[in-house]
A = this chain, B = another copy of it.
Amino acid sequence: MHTLRDEPPLPARAGSLDRLDLRMLRILQSDGRITNKALAAAVNLSASACHQRLQRLMDQGWIEGFMGRVNIERLCEPVQCIATICMASHAPDTFRQLEQHIDDLAEATAAYTVSGGCDFIVHFACARMSRYMELTDELIRLCPEIGNISTHVVLKQSKAFTGYPIAQLLVEPA
């Protein structure tokens, strides 16, 4: 039986989630296909209670989905590029427009609006380099406010994304 009274408080940021939810999130992030039964055992809950919580985590959007991590290098050796984009105009509409175009591009796999030496950083995965050129040319054509695109070809992915460091992120500020 779980008595929450004697547990230390959680970071306010975690909202309505308790320690058990967070443990579940961490486990599910690293093993998205774990069975409900095994997850229940890992957090010391009955299968039914665990199932209910898992449902809630998904319904309330704490977990946005599950994905298989495909070994894409082995599958097809794609050309991966990271583009840093500077805008000539910083009008909000211009930004939105570019974000939309990138969102529509299947081969743009991740995109960030950033501060610093450029305005956007976009990760691409393409079948070949000529395809990457097509894509960037098209972007520039669609979005004349793009001032500059600087391309970094990925020589090697030295660390693949396998989830966020939830434990480290939830520590209280000192």
Contacts and interface: CB of A to CB of B under 8 A. Distances in A.
A83 to B, nearest CB: 9
Interface stretch (A1-9, A44-52, A102-110, A138-146): A102-110
Counted per complex, copies of this chain come to: 2
Given A13-B77, A78-B169, A113 B67 contact: no
Contact of A155 (B64, B103, B115): B115
Contacts of A15: 74-75
Q: Bin chain A's interface residue count.
A: 35 or more
Contacts of A68: 25, 28-29, 32, 63, 65-66, 163
Interface string A118-139: 1011110111100000000000
Contact of A114 (B69, B75, B82, B164): B82
A154 B116 CA distance: 9
A143 B173 CA distance: 27
A165 B76 contact: no
B66 A116 contact: no
A169 B76 contact: yes
Contacts of A103: 158-159
